[in-house]
Every structure is written in structure tokens, then in C-alpha cells.
Structure 1
């Protein structure tokens, strides 16, 4: 979640909110075939992140799937991102300071890769992507870590800048959002890393506190920026041409997590006060629809969005009130609900990855 949503969760904890008790559930883990994994962040410092698995064929969901396949041992604190690469599932645990590696087809843990210093200081891993046998992890300590997928060890750290967030790969270039979110004045750049040499080559100024990004087939990068915690800067959406590494379009609009698909952007920003998934034009950022959902289905707090490239189905996670069990909705390309499932007892469902 953007900058851990630390302020939100601390506020909730202060007023006495506690996590939900686990509902009754089947203790056995199903066989993983075609479907989706859903990573629920849980509440900060509550050690209650969970992984759910939904089987598209049977229509059955299994919550707390990771614990079921690992003898009751849970993931840990604040699951921030995940990725399937090859036969492995990489789960970024921000507050626990590890990347958990599991078998993508069984959920059985292979290892935890530590993201703590020799002095046991958490580097706060954030987001993950992959490139030619490597897995890349952005960290709030200002570095991108390069993991070898055979040894499952960090083989290199690339110095970038303060409080790194989401990344995107286009060709042999890695683009990294440099948020500087903990600074008095946030950073405003996207760093470019040459993946053939694993070194930073350039920075592009895009807007204060850049966090999330997505890219299209034409080599354009879309970045959501701001707002900052000091309240000095508003949210904005920025389009960058990676052919020229220059900003080509800017709009002042509240966007959080964004996903490109088929010449449109899907934007979820419930924590910025926008309680709909908006569909935006990639050309001028105008609203194709103020609410992508067309059949009247109520999504209380659209927290994240992803699109299945196989069929164009749009998945939306609903964080509800950020303290009780969440829900996942699947809509067809026209915004009509196909199905939904609860992540109970998991809280704040966010990242969705597709299993084929």
C-alpha cells in the first residue's frame, strides 16, 4: 500500500480497532490450478497478512492459503506486493522485512530472503518485478535489490534515491518511482536503470511523491504522483514517453493504483476519497467513465485493480472500512459483475496475480 498507509492504520489502532477473529474455514488447502492469488495486507504491526487462492473453475476460494500449506505459519506483517516468476511466488513483506519465496503451484514456502541489515534494521522492501532470471525489489532504504532466482540470494543493490516505490520494465530499462515520502519535501523523480549493466543512468522529474506506475505497448509510462503528507502538493497523473524520456502529459487528478489495458487506464484511489474505479483515456486523461462498474454493484472502497490479459476481466479489491474482512470483485470488460468472493478473515486485500 502507498507508503504503508501508516498514518491511516496508526489512527485506526489508536481509536481501539483490532483485527477480526478468524472465521471457520476449511483447514485443507486445495490444489492450485487456474485462478488468482490475492495478497491481503492486514493491519500494520498486527502480523496478519494473508494469501487467498480463488479457483476459477470451481468458484471456490481458500483464505489464509499460505498458513494452510505451511503448517499454520502465516506470512507476517504488511504484505505489500507479489509476483509469480517461473515456478515461484515472491511475496514482499514490508514490515517483516523479508521476501517470502514459495512454490507457485502449492504455496509451500521455499525460503525467506532477509531484507534487514547486519544491525537488524529493516530495509522495508516495497515492490517486485522480474527480468531475465532476476527478481528486482524496490526498498525504502533507497536501493533496488537484485535477487538471483537460482540461489535466491541478493547479489547486488543499486543505489537510486529515497523511499522507492513501484517499478516498470520497458525493453532493457527499469523505471523506478522515487517517492522521498519520508522527507520534509517529497522527491519528484523516476529513475532509469540500464538492466544490462544494473546501473542508474538518468532521472526524470515527474511530480512530487510518485508511487504507482503502469505502461502500454507503445512505450509510454503512466505515473500517479502525490499527494504528500505535508499537504503541499495535490495528486497528479503523468505520462512519460520512454522513447524520449520526457513528460508528454500531466493532469491534476486523484489517482492511486493504476493499470493499463487496451488503450485505457483503470484507476483505484479509495484512500484519496474516490470511491469508484475510473476508466481514463490514455490520450488526454479524460474520464471514459467516472465509474467503470455499470451494473450497480457496490464496491465500498476500491483499493487495487488488475486486468486479466487473457480475457480483459477487471478485478477490483474492496478494503471495506480498512479494519474488517475484504472482498474481491471480477467484472467483464463492460463493467458487469461476473463473480465476487470474500477474503475473510483477511483484511485489506490488495495485490492480485493470475495463475494459468
Structure 2
């Protein structure tokens, strides 16, 4: 695959693997895992969001543009310019859609979520949140959720307490903000299949109903003196999978838990497991 398979999506019965440092997206056959096409000459692609058979958006690191691609022809067809962003500070990440609008969190050295009109391919609004929103998901009630990591001590962009934000998609306003502790590093915000329960990593694994008024005081899974690096929830049965990078050098481990938090299974995978994709 090349250098850093960042994310994977499934569309049109193909697997789309976004490989950022190699500037490429591979399309593979989901049965044979053979390559069927590729989109090349991307800057540092992070995620792909499909709008139709002939149009998708690809977010980038180190670029102030979101690329527009034609998945059917495997071609770059255009760009979305992100305002107030340079190539050096450029960072667009995960995308969710509400009606004709796509929302995207701007992560590295950024503090905002942008709103894109998919008919004009232009950024039409933006919402300021905390420093470095790392994830973006949309629940069953059309509320967007993002977690900010707060930057790091000594960062030229700033360092602050991380937060969890609940944002109304219709009005594009913050409904609620929960603050963590300074020095916390929350990440990997995920939803279950019903999209009514959140999960995230902050040393421990945490879980919270999307209708809750406060964050939980006890974790879903307690920290095990290791490096939880990836997280997902089986959309069918609610089982929780945790990826453990261990020391970033040896094979990683996946732990599978019941919805109640009981360990069901564990198995080795490759080095630094960071993301999951459900077929």
C-alpha cells in the first residue's frame, strides 16, 4: 500500500484505502483484495466522502484545499479552497453530511469546523471550536460531535483544556461543551450502529449516551498501561473493538468486548493498528 494507510471507506462495492504519505487512494475488490483503480497526485490525503458515483471529496494534510475527485474515472476534477488556511497550516479531516452540506473538522493547527455547499463546492460557513478538533461524527438526532485535543505544551498554536462539543447541524451552533482536564488527550470519537451512543479514548475507553447531560465519571474500559490507538463499534451487535499499538514497534493487538464491557476475544494484527472499516 505504501506509507501510512490512514483510512478506508466502502462505496460501490469497492474498498477505498486512503494512503496519505504516498499521495494515493487505492480502490480494491472486496473479495479478492486486488487493486481495481487508484487516484494519484494527491497532497497528503486523509479521508474520502462520497457524494455520488462520479463525485467525492478528499481531505488533505498540508494543503489548504479539499480535492474533488471522480471515483468512476479515478481522476481529480477540482478543488475546494478553505479560507484563512495556508499550505503549511492546511488540515482537513473527517466529513459528515446533513442535507446538501458537508461538514469537516480542521485539525492540525486549526480550531474550526467548516460547512461546504456540495452544489457549489464552496465553503459557506465555519464554526470556531477548541484547539485541534480530532474527530467528527453525526448522531441519530442530527447532532454533530467533535473532540478537541487542546494542542500540546509549547505549541505555537496554543495549548488548552481539551473539550467534547455537541453541535446542532441545522443551525450550525454549539449546543453543549464539556471540558476535560488540561493534559488529557481524548481522541477516536466513535458512534455505535444506532448512532445513539458515543465512545472515545482518553487513556481509558469511555462511553456516553448522546442524550446525556454530563460526561461519565467511570470509564467503559479501564486503562491497561498500554497504548490504546484505535476504536470502533460493530454496527450490528454493539461489540467494541480496541486497537492497542503497544510500543509502535511490534505487532499490535485487537481486543473485542461485549456491549457490557466484557472481554470476548483478543488477537494480533500488524504494526500500529489505527483504524477500522466495516463491510
CA contact (8 A) 1:204 1:245 kept: yes
Q: CA deviation at 1:288?
A: 6.4
Q: CA deviation at 1:248?
A: 0.9
Q: Which residue of 1 aligns with 2:96?
A: 168
- Matched residues, number: 260
Q: Which residue of 1 aligns with 2:278?
A: 354
Alpha-carbon displacement from aligned partner over 1:31-50 (angstroms, at most 9, x marks no partner): xxxxxxxxxxxxxxxxxxxx
1:238 aligned to which of 148, 165, 175: 165
Q: How does 1:146-161 map to 2 (within 5 A)?
A: 146-160=68-82, 161=85
Alpha-carbon displacement from aligned partner over 1:92-136 (angstroms, at most 9, x marks no partner): 1111111122112211012331134xxxxxx11112222222332
What SS class does the counterpart of residue 127 from structure 2 fall into? strand
Q: Which residue of 1 aligns with 2:133?
A: 210
2:216 aligned to which of 265, 270, 287: 287
Question: For the aligned residues, what is the CA RMSD?
Answer: 2.0
- Between Structure 1 and Structure 2, the one with more helix by share is 1
TM value normalised by structure 1: 0.68
Q: Which of the pair has the greater relative contact order for Cα pairs under 8 Å at 6+ separation? A: 1
Instruction: Find out whether 1:252 has 2:179 as its counterpart.
Output: yes
CA contact (8 A) 2:130 2:150 kept: no
Alpha-carbon displacement from aligned partner over 1:47-72 (angstroms, at most 9, x marks no partner): xxxxxxxxxxxxxxxxxxxxxxxxxx
Q: CA deviation at 1:191?
A: 0.4
Q: Where do 4+ consecutive residues of structure 1 move more than 6 Å? A: none
Q: CA deviation at 1:285?
A: 4.1
In structure 2, distance between residues paired with 1:313 and 1:86: 26
Gaps of 5+ in 1: 1-74, 117-122
CA contact (8 A) 2:8 2:16 kept: yes
In structure 2, distance between residues paired with 1:319 and 1:304: 8
TM value normalised by structure 2: 0.86
Gaps of 5+ in 2: none
